[in-house]
Structure 1
Amino acid sequence: MFSRVHLRFPFFDADLSSPLSPGPGAPVHFLQGVLGSMFTLCHLHDSISRDVVEKTNQSNLTARSRRVVDECRAVAGYSLGELTALVIAGTMTFEDGLRVVAERGVAMGQASLERPGGMLTVGIRMGTSSTAIDAACQAARDHCIAEMGTTRPVCQLASYLYPGVRVIAGDDKALKYIQSNAASFGLTRPIRLPVSGAFHTDMMASAVGALDRTLETISLVHPRIPVIANVTAKRYGHGPSIRKNLLKQLIQPVLWEQTMTALYQRPQQTNFPISLEVGPGGQLGMALRKTNRKAWFEQDCSLLPTGSPSPFPPNLPATGTAFGSF
């Protein structure tokens, strides 16, 4: 998840050793069956969790939120949020979406246990070569082999967040090397992210098979509206291509900057649509501002949760969010 999540959502600060008895409400019962002991998270603050689940389910949306979904013209989601986008687009059901989220999380968690890693955001100094990230990653891998004796070290580009900011992921030793030597590659502000693995890299390869088996069991239909894929920054097509790209997303970088460009590309003098970010952080709105300031001016924040500031560190989008344009 993300650091200090228990401060914003207290029911996440919970003991997962044994599930509690379910409370009322079909969505909560369903989650218990899908998520097993993770149901403890949902039951500790039953009224809060049930409200969250029921509002997420399209059949229980408020009138305004229902209109937002019905009138949405295009959607994209960052990382895990791509599943949210596909549910909004009608490609998979809400229940199937939960199953995929659960199995994907378990598989990626297991991959992280088998080979621990991390992620690092970096800025690219103005005028720096476009190959700076590749050069830094190669140097980090060489360092791990020569100085640490690591065999087949991983250090890869994991995400194009927005112009001038990237995410690198891989072995901890490789990331520490880049942190210490960032300036020599024309990189700035290296910040380690509080995540449990090197997501969107080869270190997630062992999770692909488990996710594939889950996707085999559900129906993926053609989206009713355009959904821009993370790994291609192009519109999704038929079911097989969706499944293929969801698997690739585990081990390939998220093309978020390119996705925003594709989502908002339109002829000059054409008005930009109203955009909504649904999620806890607001970081995708910030990424849109950095990518397309004119489109950002049409962002509608009325569906964003209110309250405490975002718990996310700078440059870390909230996974599980979706952007729609209307």
Structure 2
Amino acid sequence: MTRAFIFPGQGSQAVGMGLALSESFGAARLVFEEVDEALKQKLSKLIFEGPESDLTLTENAQPALMAVSIAALRVLESEGGWRLADKASYVAGHSLGEYSALAAAGALDLSDAARLLKLRGQAMQKAVPVGEGAMAALLGPDLEQVQKIAKQAADDTKLICGVANDNSPGQVVVSGAKAAVERAIAIAAEQGVKRSVMLPVSAPFHCALMQPAADAMEEALAKAAIRQPAVPVVANVTAQPTSDAATIAKLLVSQVTATVRWRESILTMKSLGVAKTYELGAGKVLAGLVKRIDKEIEASSVGAPADVETALKALS
């Protein structure tokens, strides 16, 4: 069976995530210790104990989620006696999860991934003053309809509004200036969209307003050591697999302002033979999206000791 390991993005964080893994497995503890050392910050204490308000800050949530994902992977590898490339043919991650995927596949060192995500979180937060940007999930319409809604909202307000995430059929997220996003919700309602939800985020991710953050990441990634991954990564920006280090760096820069093409990424992996996905890290958001995108793909999540046991049996 062809498998993919996938890695969650922001919004999946919760105080206490990864704690049971850390208490049960030395391989997980080593990951949290290395991330703490890389950031010169006791991030693990924040992950395990909170407060939630600090963990939710973008600059903390991004490296924290990556740490939990890699902890889950390292536990599977150490307990199973194998490496990722022995069991998975592709990796992919949602937004910041793409960095987790690259660290999992050996394209980035764990410490470098943590530092890059800390910087990415800080740069994204600084790009737009709090309160000026917004994001909203439009539930029901397809990508093409939401693209038209976002364009009309941008034209009406002369402000930025675009598609940030194409998550699954019927779940598309828009991002941009607050007034433009509010206009998009109004247009959606006029067109019969039954539900739109403003998201509790501190900045409008994955839209043109994030260009200052993209510039900061371009500078940082130019100095980063990126290697060929052990298996191809299916990139958010293209929804296609790549193994070229220079291309990976360029796509990570583009990713800051571009649409996360998650629905297409899953369909691409299916077309390449993937029949089972394992979501490694906090929460079960991606497993839920996979099931909505294509019911034929098996999806499971690994974030707690009990999940490890189940996954190891399935992967043996």
Task: Calculate the TM-score normalised by the size of structure 1.
Answer: 0.72
Q: Separation in 2 of the partners of 1:59 and 1:122? A: 37
1:84 pairs with 2:100: yes
1:242 deviates by: 0.5
Conserved? CA contact 1:116–1:196, under 8 Å = no
Following TM superposition, by how much is the alpha carbon of 1:94 offset from its aligned partner in structure 2, in angstroms? 1.3
Paired residues of 2:161 and 2:180 also in contact (CA < 8 A): yes
Give deviations 1:177-236, integer Å, cap 9, x for gaps: 222332223433101111111111101100122112221222212222121000001111
Question: What is the deviation of 1:28?
Answer: 5.6
- In structure 2, relative to structure 1, the CA distance for the partners of 1:10 and 1:70 (3 Å cut) is closer
Per the alignment, residue 111 of structure 1 pairs with 127
Partner of 2:152: 139
* Structure 1 residue 61, shift from structure 2 partner: 5.1
Match of 1:120 in 2: 136
| Aligned mates of 1:45, 1:29 — CA distance in 2 | 12
What is the match of residue 322 of structure 1? none
Q: How does 1:278-289 map to 2 (within 5 A)?
A: 278-289=280-291
The amino acid of 2:39's aligned partner reads L
Is there any run of 5+ residues in structure 1 with no aligned partner, and where? Answer: 12-24, 146-152, 308-324
Q: Secondary structure at the match of 1:97?
A: helix
Local SS of the residue matching 1:175: helix
Contact 2:205-2:257 within 8 A present in 1 as well: yes
Q: Deviations over 1:231-262 (max 9, x none)?
A: 00111131110010000000110110110001
Corresponding position: 1:230 with 2:250: no
* Higher mean C-alpha deviation, range 63-72 or range 98-107: 63-72
How many Å separate the matches in 1 of 2:47 and 2:88? Answer: 32
Question: Which has the greater radius of gyration?
Answer: 1
Which residue of the other structure, out of 94, 118, 122, is the alignment partner of 1:102?
118
Counterpart in 2 of 1:35? 39
* Equivalent residue number for residue 304 of structure 1: 303
8 Å contact kept, 2:165–2:172 = yes
**For the residues of structure 2 that align with 1:237 and 1:273, how far apart are their CA atoms?**
21
Contact 1:160 1:253 in 2 (8 A): yes
CA contact (8 A) 2:18 2:71 kept: no
User: After superposition, where does 1:51-200 map in structure 2 within 5 Å?
Assistant: 55=71, 58=74, 62-64=78-80, 66=82, 70-113=86-129, 116-125=132-141, 131-145=144-158, 153-200=159-206
Q: What is the correspondence of 1:179-258 to structure 2 with a 5 Å cutoff?
A: 179-258=185-264
SS in 2 for 1:85: helix
CA root-mean-square deviation: 3.5
TM normalised by structure 2 equals 0.74
Correspondence for 2:268 among 262, 269, 281: 262
* Residues 176, 280 of structure 1: alpha-carbon distance in 2 compared, 3 angstrom cutoff: same
What residue identity is the alignment partner of 1:190?
S
CA distance in 1, matches of 2:47, 2:139: 39
Q: Is the 8 A contact 2:17 2:68 kept in 1?
A: no
Label 1:33 to 1:4 Cα distance change in 2 as closer, same or farther (>3 A): closer
Report the Cα offset of residue 42 of structure 1: 2.7
Q: Helix, strand or coil for the counterpart of 2:233?
A: coil
Higher helix share: 2
Q: Percent identity?
A: 25
Match of 1:292 among 291, 294, 302: 294
Instruction: Indicate the SS of the match to 1:252.
Output: coil
Partner Cα separation in structure 2 for residue 61 and residue 81 of structure 1: 19
SS of residue in 2 equivalent to 1:293: coil
Task: Find the residue that maps to 2:278 and give its secondary structure.
Answer: strand
User: 5+ residue gaps in structure 2?
Assistant: 1-9, 20-28, 51-63, 307-314
Structure 1 residue 131: deviation in Å? Answer: 4.2
Hey, what's the Cα distance between the residues in 1 that align with 2:249 and 2:272?
28
Name the SS for the 1:300 alignment partner: strand
For 1:163 and 1:54, locate their aligned partners in 2 and report how far apart those are by CA, in whole Å: 29
Identify if the C-alpha distance between structure 1 residues 67 and 224 changes in structure 2 by more than 3 Å, giving closer, same or farther.
closer
Q: Which amino acid aligns with 1:210?
A: A
CA distance in 1, matches of 2:70, 2:270: 31
Q: Is the 8 A contact 1:89 1:224 kept in 2?
A: yes
- Would the aligned equivalents of 1:55 and 1:61 in 2 still touch at CA under 8 Å? no
Alignment partners' CA distance in 1, 2:294 and 2:81: 25
Between the two proteins, the alignment pairs up a number of residues equal to 275
Residue type of the partner of 1:110? K
Aligned-partner Cα distance in 1 for 2:127–2:202: 10
Cα gap change, 1:236/1:176 in structure 2, threshold over 3 Å: closer, same or farther? same
Change (3 A) 1:94 1:139: same
Q: How far 1:173 moved relative to its partner? A: 1.2
